[in-house]
Amino acid sequence: MTNRTLEEDLAGLFSDKADLKAPATLRMRVAGVPDEIVHLGLVPRLALAAPRITRIAAVVVVLLLAAGSAWLRFGTGSPGAQGQALSIVNDAAPTPLPSGLSYSCPLTLTNMSLRVEVAGTRLVVVDATTLSPVDAVWPYGFSARLIDGKAELLASDGTVVAREGDVLTSVNGHEGSAGGAGGSAGAFDVTGFNGDCYTPSGVKVGSPRQPIPPVFSTGLGSQEP
Amino acid sequence: MADRREAFDRLTQARLDRAYRLAATILTGDAEAEDAVHDAAVQAWTRWATLRDESRFDAWFDRIVVNVCRDRLRRSATAARKAIVSWIDLAPGEVGGEDDALRQVVAGLSPDHRIVIVLRFAEDLDIAEIARRTGQREGTVKSRLHYALREVRAAYDAARRSRGADR
């Protein structure tokens, strides 16, 4: 080898491949290529046949169209599949309960009914009887959105719990302690409605307990009023 | 469609040994060469309309094979570089035969350099033919061949020196 040139050594290096033959398996695979490709749909076939630059250009166009569509939906504020967010006032994030403790539904003490309305970019509620606004503070995680021009109130798990015009019945909650984001004194902390109640973190925990009907004693036995 | 299929079968089967040899020389491993030729056949079938003249099939198909091999080499470039580094790190006494050293140096070349070396020395093609099969200008091919040979020569001379010192 020392008397040979690099070029000769390089040529010799590949000489062991000179008699290499394509294996039978490869011959069969290549013979099956037309059947393999013909089963593809028209679009994949066109995609495979197109030059690489065309494929890249097609991907870029699709991405630009997707970005443009997303901008039109969300960037301009027009409603889309995700809708336009409406503002509501929420409770602050609750501190975790000590281990072993869990939330239960509070006693229902009010019999308030609230109608869901929209005011500008806010979802608001009014007393269904007096139509006076109620400064509601919703459980942490609740949200609101406008879908196809109609407002929706969502629980923390994304479930739609009310729509614009709906009347929430048996609204449960308490006044005055609103520590929520933006909650004002005298706000009403909603903890449940329509037979459901929610933890401060917005998780539905079940039906609220009903108050025990008062029992009057007449001395002659018990009877309900 | 039947004519196209008949032409595809006839031309690819006739060229298959050569294509497989080319892929096996550029790549490492027979299985990878087989996969590369199959991929090239798929591309040839889907791009059949771009083959205007059947008499140019050989160069056209070789070019597809070379491109497929280049893509595969680029994906495995890191592994190839590791091979050359491990050889360089060997002490002189540990180096195998000079053919082994040369083989490792070629394996460690960049995909484009390796392809021109294979086409020039394994396929015995001239610059114009290499340019046709790689889709590069002749000047580019000359330049790549020059730098590839310089790289190989440096490692080759080092191997010979270390072997001489070892004796």
Q: Do B30 and A23 touch (CB under 8 A)?
A: yes
- Mean of the pLDDT values across residues A154-166? 90
Query: Nearest to residue A82, comparing CAs of A163, A142, A144, A141?
Result: A144
Q: Do A6 and B25 touch (CB under 8 A)?
A: no
Strands A160-163 and A150-154: antiparallel
What pLDDT is stored for residue A105 in this prediction?
A: 66
Q: Pick from B41, B103, B121: which is nearest to A11 by CB?
A: B121
**Per-residue pLDDT tens for A3-17?**
567 888 888 888 877
- Tell me the ipTM for this assembly: 0.78
What pLDDT is stored for residue A5 in this prediction?
A: 79
Cβ atoms of residues A116 and A64 within 8 Å: no
Phi-psi region of A196 (alpha: psi -120 to 50; beta: other; left: phi over 0): beta
pTM of the predicted protein model:
0.49
To the nearest whole number, what is the mean pLDDT of chain A?
Answer: 75
Say whether residue A27 is in contact with chain B using an 8 A CB cutoff.
yes
Say whether residue A5 is in contact with chain B using an 8 A CB cutoff.
no
Q: Do B24 and A17 touch (CB under 8 A)?
A: yes
Say yes or no to pLDDT of B27 above 80: yes
Q: Kindly compute the dihedral angle of the four CA atoms of residues B104, B109, B111, B113, in this order, to the nearest 10 degrees.
A: -120
Q: Check residues B35 and A48 and name the one with the higher pLDDT.
A: B35
Strands A122-127 and A216-217: unpaired
**Per-residue pLDDT tens for B71-104?**
988 887 655 554 444 444 443 444 456 667 788 7
What pLDDT is stored for residue A51 in this prediction?
A: 66
Spell B125-140 as b/e; 16+ CB within 10 A means b: beeebbbbbbebeeee
Strands A122-127 and A112-119: antiparallel
